[in-house]
């Protein structure tokens, strides 16, 4: 691996590192986790709204979900541990959906089951002018049972999406990637969810 690529990976790893464990009192918190600027706070709010929409059943939840997505984009789900075993195709553990409808259609909006996708620790928010990245560890419960845990990584762009003119820019998600894994005993204990 050449030096430039190593430097890029090192920079990326530094940027997305999470806060140190609370048992390390001398460690300084990662400066990227707490939204310190209005842009970071606004980008994080869109991702929180996307997650909150999953708790709102029916068309209301679907519309709330769609309101966070750009008119074009892509969702990628890298969920190898949760994919049915015995598949004969390569990369069956990676699923793709186009924004906005394809991604929204993935969610069972008419289900009677209560779905909650909660934050699992501090999110990391990075902003460079009109592009933001929000890295959000999460847990997912269905009817109070811990289904899976993982990380959501959303890329957002701040634009005048509706053509209303200067000052009408807003953040929308242009790509979403997530991981998912079976919860460990530690995850179950941490979230107090039934298994």
The b-or-e profile of 43-56 (16+ CB within 10 A means b, else e) is bbebbeebbbbbee
Q: Is residue 102 part of a domain?
A: yes
The answer, yes or no, to whether residue 5 has pLDDT greater than 60, is no
CA distances from 115 to 56, 112, 147 (A): 9, 9, 10
- CATH code at position 118: 3.10.450.50
Q: Is residue 119 part of a domain?
A: yes
Q: Is residue 77 part of a domain?
A: yes
Q: Is residue 135 part of a domain?
A: yes
In the chain, the number of structural domains is 1
pLDDT tens, residue by residue, 28-80:
334 445 568 999 999 999 999 999 999 999 999 999 999 999 999 999 988 76
Mean pLDDT rounded to a whole number for the chain: 80
Look up residue 38 and give its two tokens: 């209005």
pTM of the model: 0.74
Q: Which domain range does residue 117 map to?
A: 40-191
The answer, yes or no, to whether residue 149 has pLDDT greater than 60, is yes
Quote the pLDDT of residue 166.
Answer: 82
């Amino acid at each position: 691996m050449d030096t430039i690529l190593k430097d890029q990976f090192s920079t990326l790893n530094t940027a997305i590192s999470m806060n140190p464990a609370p048992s390390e009192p001398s460690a300084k918190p990662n400066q990227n986790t707490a939204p310190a600027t209005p842009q970071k706070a606004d980008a994080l709010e869109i991702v929180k709204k996307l997650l909150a929409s999953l708790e709102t059943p029916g068309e209301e939840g679907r519309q709330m979900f769609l309101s966070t997505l750009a008119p074009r984009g892509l969702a990628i789900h890298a969920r190898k541990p949760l994919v049915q075993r015995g598949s004969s195709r390569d990369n069956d553990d990676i699923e793709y959906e186009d924004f906005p409808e394809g991604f929204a259609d993935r969610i069972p909006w008419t289900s009677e089951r209560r779905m909650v996708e909660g934050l699992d620790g501090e999110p990391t928010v990075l902003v460079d002018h009109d592009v933001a990245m929000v890295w959000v560890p999460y847990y997912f419960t269905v009817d109070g049972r811990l289904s899976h845990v993982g990380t959501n990584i959303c890329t957002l762009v701040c634009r005048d999406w509706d053509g209303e003119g200067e000052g009408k820019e807003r953040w929308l998600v242009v790509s979403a990637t997530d991981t998912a894994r079976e919860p460990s005993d530690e995850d179950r204990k941490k979230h107090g969810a039934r298994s």
